[in-house]
Structure 1
Amino acid sequence: MSGGSTSTGLFSFFSFSLIFENFFSKIKLKLPMFETTHSMVCVHFFIDKKIGQSHSFTKFISFQFSAPHYWKWVFVFQFFHRFTFTAMVVENHYPHLSELTSHQKEKIAELRSKTKDILATYPEYDTDFSLLRWLMGWDYKIDAIIPKMKYAVETLVNLGMNNHQTTSIQQINKDIKNMSAVAEYFPGGIMGQSKRGDVVYMQAMAKAHPKTLVKAGPTSQLFQLCISETEMSFKIIRQTEEEKQRKMGVIIIMDLDGFNMDLLYTPTLKVYMSLLTMLQNIFPDFARRIFIINCPTMMSAVYAMVSPVLSSQTREKVRFLDKDWKNHLIEEIGEENIFMHWGGNKKHEHPCGDIRMGGKVPESLWYNETHKLEGDRTKISISARSKTEVKMYGETGKHFHWLWRVSSGDIDFSIEKDGRVVWPVFRCLTEFHPEIGSYKIEENGEYVFVFDNSHGKIFGKDVKYKIVLE
């Protein structure tokens, strides 16, 4: 395309933009929808410059207009000569049950019908808004959703979440601390609910001490803790959605006060990346807002390391707050719902409430090499892009106990019976702590322990394991 035609095209486009902006400024809508007081109306244009029957270029241009929270629609315009403009409708992401569109209702019904066997294993999970989260998180692509939902619900059921009763946020924080003596040293916890009803999760990530944390427990223990905590949060959300008849979410606050380079310790950073990926796979559309406060000067570099594992939907919800972050949180959440340490007036005997505040893990909690399963382990080799299975017979009421280490990197570990996953697939790193666990056998039969290196593209790995039945 010549420079002259490009200039003409851009001039035509911006001329049209001015006409559109003038037209837009004269329109006043009063259709209550969005809840945030910081709304933007976004207009997205796909521009195709046509030459004969072919397209010589395509551009995507976005306009944003500051607007009151009650604006619902972004308009659709079509200009059918030299250019075609198509704007997209903005979806109400947190609708009341009565505001669900006919399309959403149809898709919810279709997804429910196609996943009824999965949902039957966790009846509490089967709500319109739970299914809508999957639809919104995966662009209503039901065929893509089904295997992902199967994995997610399977994991939650394997961790006993279908039988776990959640009575209050205080009980959740207590249950998580009781899961492991090391839990206290992994920062985080539920602060409460916002004035809208969203669950507010606080994570003082900079208070963690990765180099001692990795010595105090297996990777799978961290995964179990975080998945359980998130699902317990969603139990509260589902209860609130039932009461308010409106879709809710989680507001995550990442406090980086005290940030230091130890937090970028490579082995633990890899585990954290795996954790983020897993949580997004199990909990689609989980975050309503992600506020990052007390950002270090090198925040852009840190975020660049983490952002590749974040879905585009998650990245869109991240907000880096400036020094006025306390007022922003109060406006968003409500002063009465924020502990004093973070600028609120929520009552508790400690300024940080019952949020886990991390710290160095004492040596008394580090792994002891004299573990009874350390001796006489069996070695297996697992090639890249393959897996190895170890089969054992289990008897009802007894337990399998295991300990294993991988020679380098990480490996996916799970347990299956009759083609069903009965112990979740976790990608485990054993450089500083062996993978240790136990499983209570609920029925007689053959169990398959799966060591999977399918994600390894070049290098094989050796695993030394010991599994006993007691």
Structure 2
Amino acid sequence: MSISESDRVAINELREAVKEHLTPYYDTDFNLLRWLKGHDYKMDVIKPKLINHLLFRKSDWDLDSLADKPRDHPVHHHWKTGLTGESGIIPNTIVNIEQTGSNDYWGMLHSYPTNEILRARVHDLESMLKAVMDLEKKTNQQCSVIYIMDLTGIKFDKRTITLLTGGLSAISAFMAEHYVELVHSFVLVNVPAFISAIWTIAKPLLPERTRNKCNILNSEWRVEVLKMAEGSCLPSYWNDEEDDGPFTAPIEKCVPFPEDKYYMGKVSSNADHMSVSAGKTGFVEVEVKTGQTLSWEIHSNGHFAFAIYELPLVPNNSDDVSNYTRVYPLFSKIPGPTIVPCIDKLVCPSSATYRLWFGNQHAWFHTLKIDYVAKVE
């Protein structure tokens, strides 16, 4: 779809509102249009959300160049790429295949911290975004992703329910928060008979716009899916064993995480502790010097938000972190209780006081308890 005159006016208004945060790579009419459509053109809602994303892009995660870097995070050995190319059927769409039923999400969440899982995932999301941007440059039309979720092998058990309400819902929320309107539709194939039970659990956890894009195909899904994408974009392992077609995309099958590599560590004996009441925030402050490395390990008894801010040299005695420079991305929901602690480090760009900020705003009654180790070296 081309850009209308009214949309162009709104795009220019949004661009002016966030211009100090935009990078040349991300500054396209279609990228800004996605944010407008995704939030019903409400500038007061869009501006802080988009600035949050743009700050993330400019963090040391360096999103603008991520798609051009090798896909070599250890998680990628298990969680395979599914980006295959243009649909060929539905105009202006790219196809991505997710092995939802057979991916070892349980093993992943028992082997790697959430922040590392998101690092791996962001590479794929940025690759999808780049493919869409490249197609938009070629067609001068708004483009998006057909996200096909293959439920082969999914089980309805306690593990699945735990994943749906914990780690996977957090990853879904992260995708909806930062990759607004990137997805054209979520297409579920090879769904089990108990899909209605899974959907009853998952549906309330998904953002409304995501729920409205879900398309669950029936038992004739192999026929139906070819009305959405050419066989060259669909995985060859969907073919019957004796057939070479119609599906020909050479997608690698996912690889389980070895159980003997699951995280078995405990909270460090020298960890500090803090509590954050329901609906509140808390923080720890650390003095750092330019070039030093700040590292941390965080265990929690529930979901929490997290970011790191650099405080101004002249204190302003404000608890409003929007007044501070963010030096580590804001994660709105890290699932807890943590199975693997959040472990990461940051090379400090300047001498200052750094604030490790924790949020428990989503909770009604639950007191967040944090065990943490923060070191400067």
Count of aligned pairs: 355
For residues 103-122 of structure 1, the aligned pairs below 5 Å read 103-119=6-22, 122=23
> SS of the residue aligned with 1:357?
coil
Alpha-carbon distance between aligned partners in 1 of 2:128 and 2:60, rounded to the nearest angstrom: 15
Partner of 1:336: 232
The answer for unaligned runs of 5 or more in structure 1 is 1-94
Partner of 1:164: 65
Partner of 1:229: 124
Aligned match of 1:139 in 26, 40, 57?
40
Deviation string, structure 1 residues 118-141 (Cα, Å, up to 9, x no partner):
21xx22111111111111111111
For residues 62-141 of structure 1, the aligned pairs below 5 Å read 95-96=1-2, 100-119=3-22, 122-141=23-42
Aligned: 1:468 with 2:366: no
Query: Which is further off, 221-230 or 382-391?
Result: 221-230
Partner of 1:353: 251
Alpha-carbon distance between aligned partners in 1 of 2:51 and 2:87, rounded to the nearest angstrom: 31
- How much does 1:161 deviate? 3.4
Contact 1:394 1:445 in 2 (8 A): yes
Aligned: 1:325 with 2:195: no
Aligned: 1:248 with 2:143: yes
Larger Rg: 1
- How much does 1:431 deviate? 3.6
> SS of the residue aligned with 1:379?
strand
The answer for unaligned runs of 5 or more in structure 2 is 240-244, 312-323
Alpha-carbon distance between aligned partners in 2 of 1:261 and 1:310, rounded to the nearest angstrom: 18
* Pair 210,124 (structure 1): closer, same or farther in 2 beyond 3 Å: closer
For residues 423-438 of structure 1, the aligned pairs below 5 Å read 423-426=328-331, 427-428=333-334, 429-438=336-345
Partner of 1:416: 309
Alpha-carbon distance between aligned partners in 1 of 2:262 and 2:66, rounded to the nearest angstrom: 31
For residues 14-413 of structure 1, the aligned pairs below 5 Å read 95-96=1-2, 100-119=3-22, 122-158=23-59, 160-164=61-65, 166-167=67-68, 175=71, 178-179=72-73, 181-186=74-79, 189-195=82-88, 196-262=91-157, 263-266=159-162, 269-343=165-239, 352-354=250-252, 357-359=254-256, 361-369=257-265, 374-406=268-300, 408-413=301-306
Contact 1:404 1:466 in 2 (8 A): yes
> SS of the residue aligned with 1:341?
helix
Task: Quote the sequence identity (%).
Answer: 23
What's the TM-score once normalised by structure 2's chain length? Answer: 0.86
- How much does 1:288 deviate? 0.9
Alpha-carbon distance between aligned partners in 2 of 1:396 and 1:346, rounded to the nearest angstrom: 54
What's the TM-score once normalised by structure 1's chain length? Answer: 0.70
Contact 2:302 2:369 in 1 (8 A): no
Contact 2:145 2:185 in 1 (8 A): yes
Deviation string, structure 1 residues 288-345 (Cα, Å, up to 9, x no partner):
1211000111111211211223333322321111233223333322122223123556
> SS of the residue aligned with 1:207?
coil
- Give the AA of the match of 1:194: S
Partner of 2:242: none
- How much does 1:158 deviate? 2.2
* Pair 441,187 (structure 1): closer, same or farther in 2 beyond 3 Å: same
* Pair 261,202 (structure 1): closer, same or farther in 2 beyond 3 Å: same
Higher RCO (C-alpha under 8 Å, 6+ residues apart):
2
Contact 1:237 1:248 in 2 (8 A): yes
Alpha-carbon distance between aligned partners in 1 of 2:230 and 2:271, rounded to the nearest angstrom: 55
* Pair 159,295 (structure 1): closer, same or farther in 2 beyond 3 Å: farther
Contact 1:166 1:236 in 2 (8 A): no
Partner of 1:458: 365
- Give the AA of the match of 2:175: L
- Give the AA of the match of 1:107: A
* Pair 211,317 (structure 1): closer, same or farther in 2 beyond 3 Å: closer
